[in-house]
Amino acid sequence: MTKSITKLWGTAFSKTPKNEAVNFAAGRDVQSLPAADELLIPYEIKASLAYVNGLKDQKIIDQKTYKQLISGLKKLEKEYQSGKFKFDPQKEDVHTNIESWLIQKLGIDVAGKIHSGRSRNEQGIVDVVLYIKSMNDIFKKEINKLIKVLDESAKQYQDILIPGYTHHQPATITTFGEILDCYSQAFSKDLKKFNLWNETEEINPLGASAGYASSYPISKNKINQYLKLKQVFQNSIQVITFKGDAETQMVFNLAVFMNHLSSLAQTLIIFSTKEFGFISISDEYSTGSSIMPQKKNPDPLEVMKAKASMCHGYLMSLLSLTKAAFIGYNRDLQWTKYLVMDAVNECLMAPKIMAGIIKTLKVNAHKMAKQTIAGFILAQSIMENLAIEFKLPMRLAKLILEETVKQCQTKGISSLNTVKELHTLNKIIKQFKLNFQVKEKQFSDWIDPYQIVEKQIKN
């Protein structure tokens, strides 16, 4: 029997990996990116329509010219949407592509008037602002969906016990639901940052021209009635000189969000290892090995970490590019566009992939719970209850528990999960010359994982 091979793994999987997960992990290995300005075509058309309306309102163009320009732009928009308008790399940029198309269709006497008082500087800025606004809306939508999945899963697993870790070591007890809620809260904070981008960076630059406005009676407010951005610029030099702020803020938001995703990814990777065995990642979000038939690898989660690192690089490049801008436009600022687009491209599918992983993972509740009584993980609970019940200074209670742990280890006892260890504890209490002993019922309550979690989480 012969098989057609499209990838070097996966025939042992019980479920077919999702194409989006495979593509997410493959990155740019087999996928090329479109030209940056090709992505800006719909935004250039939208901004041009708003600008033409502004020119008409200020009587810079007459009604006939206005109708011809609007008709031409709408025809161009239809051709672009149907795939008939082809981006010509010989025409330098998106602005030249569109204006030359209009001149070809309408003649320079009509189409040449669209550039009245307008500079490529403000055109480039408004296109990128509109692009980021569109991408920002997608991220907000997908992060909202991710938060919803996490909240549903947190509720589903709210009573599933699991060790809480510090320094990669078991420290106390929590629930898997509480861990998922931790990330839900982090992403909720991230969502506020993406919303803040709209408040601070959604600025219409049209009317600023090359940075010093124009002799034409351009009205930024009238233009923005059609563009509908949240605000207009207050200083034309500022909006041109610091045009990279919108890109930098967006990539900063992406970097922080991806850091949180990366932390969740690392946590899930570790929990899914055979050594832990707390969870199992679905075949739909896994890949295999080209040589090891048994392997099921969490590649999409590993790639999540790589993409977070990429964002750090994009952010540092943006900060470096914009740190020494002399007033007015400088050509080096053109590269801010590439950086924000690359960051968006790397991260766009990340929240959707993570939501799918969370929704489809399987939990080994028994193995999780077993580890909540292993080792000396119950020591903090015993210490705190000892201090509370007998009104001891917490530091004294800690000394008692430290000595108890030491004595247990000396005897070859590796846990505090039965009342047998109570004898050692009471012996140490006596050595500290304290006139009380812990009763068996008290101790049993103190080492009950469910009671521990109930006390900790309700706080």
CATH number at residue 349: 1.20.200.10
Placement of tokens 């219409």 in the chain? 204
Phi (first) and psi of residue 135, to 5 degrees: -70, -40
Domain count, the chain: 3
**Residue 363 forms part of a structural domain:** yes
Q: Does 306 share its domain with 157?
A: yes
| Strands 279-280 and 362-363, sheet pairing | antiparallel
CATH number at residue 73: 1.10.275.10
Residue 451 contacts residue 445 (beta carbons within 8 Å):
yes
Give Rg (Cα) of the chain.
Answer: 31
Q: Does 201 share its domain with 292?
A: yes
Q: Does 364 share its domain with 393?
A: no
**Nearest of 129, 112, 121, 55 to residue 93 by alpha carbon:** 121
Evaluate if residue 303 carries a pLDDT over 90: yes
Q: Does 47 share its domain with 191?
A: no
**Other beta carbons within 10 Å of 168:** 7
pLDDT in tens, 115-159: 999 999 999 999 999 999 999 999 999 999 999 999 999 999 999
Q: Does 188 share its domain with 312?
A: yes
Q: Which range is least confidently modeled, 29-43, 49-63, 70-84, 400-414?
A: 29-43
**Residue 211 forms part of a structural domain:** no
Q: Does 89 share its domain with 142?
A: no
Q: Does 77 share its domain with 193?
A: no
pLDDT the model gives residue 1: 39
The rounded distance, in Å, linking the Cα atoms of 63 and 377 is 79
Among candidate residues 343, 370, 397, the one where a domain is terminated:
370
**Residue 162 forms part of a structural domain:** yes
Q: Does 442 share its domain with 400?
A: yes
pLDDT in tens, 281-297: 998 988 765 666 556 78
Evaluate if residue 10 carries a pLDDT over 60: no
Phi (first) and psi of residue 283, to 5 degrees: -55, -30
Placement of tokens 């990838």 in the chain? 7
**Other beta carbons within 10 Å of 396:** 15
Among candidate residues 89, 115, 141, the one where a domain is terminated:
115
The rounded distance, in Å, linking the Cα atoms of 445 and 419 is 10
Q: Is 363 left (phi over 0), alpha (psi -120 to 50) or beta?
A: beta
Q: Does 45 share its domain with 104?
A: yes
Q: Encoding tokens for residue 213? A: 């406005």
**Residue 330 forms part of a structural domain:** yes
**Residue 223 forms part of a structural domain:** no
* Predicted confidence band of residue 2 (pLDDT cuts 50, 70, 90): very low
pLDDT the model gives residue 7: 56
Q: Does 257 share its domain with 317?
A: yes
Q: Encoding tokens for residue 129? A: 């602002």
Query: Could you tell me what percentage of the chain is helix, strand and coil, using 3-state DSSP and rounding each to the nearest 5?
Result: 65, 5, 30
pLDDT the model gives residue 293: 58
pLDDT the model gives residue 5: 42
Sequence letter at residue 17: P
* Predicted confidence band of residue 194 (pLDDT cuts 50, 70, 90): very high
HSE of 242, CA atoms in CB hemisphere, 13 A: 15
The rounded distance, in Å, linking the Cα atoms of 45 and 79 is 12
Q: Encoding tokens for residue 243? A: 């045009």
pTM of the complete model:
0.92
Residue 96 contacts residue 123 (beta carbons within 8 Å):
no
* Predicted confidence band of residue 459 (pLDDT cuts 50, 70, 90): low
**Residue 27 forms part of a structural domain:** no
pLDDT the model gives residue 66: 97
Among candidate residues 341, 370, 399, the one where a domain is terminated:
370
Q: Encoding tokens for residue 145? A: 């969906």
Pick 284 or 74 by higher pLDDT: 74
| Strands 231-232 and 203-204, sheet pairing | parallel
The rounded distance, in Å, linking the Cα atoms of 163 and 416 is 15
**Residue 89 forms part of a structural domain:** yes
Whole-number average pLDDT of the chain: 93
Q: Does 134 share its domain with 177?
A: yes
Residue 275 contacts residue 364 (beta carbons within 8 Å):
no
Evaluate if residue 27 carries a pLDDT over 50: yes
**Residue 226 forms part of a structural domain:** no
**Nearest of 239, 149, 147 to residue 194 by alpha carbon:** 147
pLDDT the model gives residue 289: 58
pLDDT the model gives residue 26: 83
pLDDT the model gives residue 405: 95
Residue 219 contacts residue 46 (beta carbons within 8 Å):
no
Evaluate if residue 9 carries a pLDDT over 80: no
Give the residue numbers spanning the domain of 81.
Answer: 36-115
Placement of tokens 């809620």 in the chain? 181
Placement of tokens 């600022």 in the chain? 333
Q: Does 390 share its domain with 309?
A: no
The rounded distance, in Å, linking the Cα atoms of 46 and 325 is 28
